[in-house]
A = this chain, B = another copy of it.
Amino acid sequence: MSLAPWRSHLARALHRNRSLVYARYLQLATVRADGRPANRTVVFRGFLEDSDRLKFVTDARSEKAEQIDRQPWAEACWYFPNTREQFRISGKLMLVRENHPDPQLQKARQISWQELSDAARVQFAWPHPGQPRADVEAVAPAYPDPTQPLSDFCLLLLDPMQVDFLELRGEPQNRWLYRVDSDRNWSGEAINP
């Protein structure tokens, strides 16, 4: 598989911002059941092997899991502070839950679980997110088995369909829009910032 043309911009941004741990954090927008937007910070966990799909992890009990079932379209906004670049990545989300039928995706889910820190894994053993605060004991369980994902752990994949890349440095700024067609071929054009 050949990489999408925006991948080289993104790889360079990740490299040039590697001194900032939070350069791997981005904001993922989805749409709620009532048609209003939702937006939260997620951590980029790399690309799914041999694909342009971005990996994140999430909890099956979180509001976004339900939102994705209704409306899989999302837009990620990723700002790189050191280089003053922004990527707006729109595409479709897919949740890989505990019972997902695809064995390759199940394997990817398993690997993502293993790659998490203990502190990240234990969050999937906490009480139901968003509900009234449980007592401290309930939210401080033992660290879960690193080889066996907890049932609420999901791999979350974003399959990009359009990437809007903005370089804020420069006057005027530079901006490119990349789009994929139904044959999965990417094309790009320079647009006004």
A interface residues (Cβ-Cβ under 8 A, vs B)? 20, 22, 25, 27-31, 35-41, 71, 73-77, 79, 81, 86, 88, 90, 119, 122-123, 126-134, 136, 139-140, 171-172, 175, 177, 189-193
Contact = CB atoms under 8 A, between A and B. Distances in A.
A79 B25 contact: yes
20 contacts: A28-B39, A29-B39, A31-B35, A31-B37, A35-B35, A35-B73, A37-B37, A38-B88, A39-B39, A123-B172, A126-B192, A130-B177, A130-B192, A132-B191, A133-B175, A133-B189, A133-B192, A134-B192, A139-B192, A139-B193
A156 B13 CA distance: 30
Contact of A190 (B27, B28, B132): B132
Given A126-B192, A192-B126, A75 B39 contact: yes
A105 to B, nearest CB: 24
